[in-house]
Amino acid sequence: MIHALRYTEELEKVGFTTEQAKKSVQVWMELMDQNFATKADFKEHYFMTKTDMIELSNMLKDENTILRKEINSWTITFLNRFDEIDKRFTEIDKRFTEIDKRFTEIDKRFAQVDKHFTEIDKRFTDIDHKFDKLESRLTIKLGIMMAASIGIVSTIINFSK
């Protein structure tokens, strides 16, 4: 208020009438009250803002806690699912190991069968050689018998004449 009186006096010194000076200062005072912020307004706003920020911070902490719980829950769920998948893959690996063992056994059996076939092939080869020898011996014996028969028949013919 002290400033309003001083401003009114200043305006009167420069040529305003008392009514004009009072009205001008009153208009400016109303304008300032409605549009300008005072130090008290700033302090009030500061405290309101600080309180709002504290509330916002607390709210964000709460939301952060909730989000962390949800993320932990999802993480546990995913880890459990991955454990189940690992177990399934372990079972599959065991089954494949068993299958590999069976194939190894089958391969051994086929190796034994191959060995038996090789032995059979050797026996057939031996039999073929024996048949060849037998055939040669029979051919020789038949040749000798034929030659002897021809000799005997020619001798008989020669003596009978």
DSSP 87-131: HHHHHHHHHHHHHHHHHHHHHHHHHHHHHHHHHHHHHHHHHHHHH
Residues 48, 116: one domain?
Answer: yes
Residues 105, 150: one domain?
Answer: yes
Counting Cα atoms < 13 Å in the Cβ hemisphere of 114 gives 6
Residues 128, 116: one domain?
Answer: yes
What pLDDT shows up at residue 2? 56
Separation in Å, CA 47 to CA 34, 38, 42, 55, 57:
21, 14, 9, 12, 15
Residues 23, 54: one domain?
Answer: no
DSSP H helical ranges for the chain: 2-13, 18-35, 39-160
Residues 59, 15: one domain?
Answer: no
Residues 66, 12: one domain?
Answer: no
Helix (H, G, I), strand (E, B) or coil at 1: coil
**Per residue of the chain (161 residues), what is the pLDDT tens digit?**
457 788 888 888 999 888 998 888 888 888 877 777 777 777 777 667 778 788 888 999 999 999 999 999 999 999 999 999 999 999 999 999 999 999 999 999 999 999 999 999 999 999 999 999 999 999 999 999 999 999 898 888 888 86
Range of the structural domain that residue 47 is part of: 37-160
Residues 3, 57: one domain?
Answer: no
Residues 28, 46: one domain?
Answer: no
Tokens of 84: 């189940």
Residues 30, 89: one domain?
Answer: no
Residues 136, 82: one domain?
Answer: yes
